[in-house]
Amino acid sequence: MRKASLALFTLIAGLGVATPVMAQHEGHAASTKVAIDPALAAAVADPRRKDDRARDKYRKPDETLAFFQVTPTMKVGEYAPGGGWYSRLLGLYLGPKGKLVGLYFDPNSSAFSEQMQKGIREAAPKFPAEVAGWSGQPADRFSSYTLGDVPEGEKGTFDRILIMRMMHNLLRWNIADGEIKKMRDLLKPDGMIGIEQHRAKADAPYAYTDGSKGYLRETDIIKFMEVNGFTFVGKSEANANPADPANHVEGVWTLPPMLRGATDDATKAKLQAIGESDRMTLLFRKRP
């Protein structure tokens, strides 16, 4: 991980595939088995991902990207790239024939301190060179900008935008409406947004699902996206973890890899046995 990306991640986060069978909205039944494009399978297995592969069993990147119907020729935006775990894979997958664009927070929001605004503005231009270094693809296969400085001609050109474990921050910082609307403008008429997010229990109280614990209710995200101009396409249980009780005092950061608050070996072992968080994996299409 490059130092610039790590610094911003710490500062902010502290932040031809077969079409899957889509779930119906009512009842939230889900399909988890999707066909994996050989090019995606090759990218996931690429030796350059050796340091990232340990988390594949929790993040299921092949099933997730296949469910989002990402193909290797698409123009795909990765929102809030952060530490680069998905950026490295997407660079390998999209670099040869597609286009990967890093979409950074609009730094003009009052939610960010001057230091954070500066960090966002400085990190965005470095993204293409970083992904090029990780993937071995030319830097011109990648681009990046903040949502406060979208270049002319970019609106209506994206096939997909991916929001990976970031909705809780958008909601707790009170910037979700503005950021989602900016992303909606970037999508083609039939473009879609894929969301992976830590999932709270359906009956969890608002105090636990306001974003401060990292967990959100699935029904709330679906309603939010529908209000903001999207149609719910379906969901996958690829990233489900029924062992996660989703009620940690320290929030999702109690679980691996952070293990916040775990001070003894027995507690750490218990949390490691649970694994990473239970996550919803949702797909939404831009509504006319």
pLDDT at position 17 is 35
Residues 164-178: b if buried by 16+ CB within 10 A, e if exposed: bbbbbbbbbbebbeb
Instruction: Say what the pTM is.
Output: 0.90
**Nearest to residue 236, comparing CAs of 191, 285, 284, 280?**
280
Please name the residue ranges forming H helices in 101-175.
114-123, 127-135, 167-172
Collapsed DSSP state (helix, strand, coil) of residue 144: strand
Residue ranges of the chain with pLDDT lower than 50?
1-7, 9-29
CATH code for the domain in which residue 17 is found: 3.40.50.150
pLDDT at position 128 is 98
pLDDT at position 30 is 56
Q: What strand order describes the sheet that includes 142-146?
A: 142-146, 99-104, 75-79, 158-164, 187-198, 279-286, 230-236
Question: What range defines the domain where residue 207 resides?
Answer: 3-286
Residues 71-104: b if buried by 16+ CB within 10 A, e if exposed: bbebbbbbbbbbbbbbbbbbbbbbbbebbbbbbb
* Total number of domains constituting the chain: 1
Residues 6+ apart with CB under 8 A from 271: 254, 255, 256, 259, 262
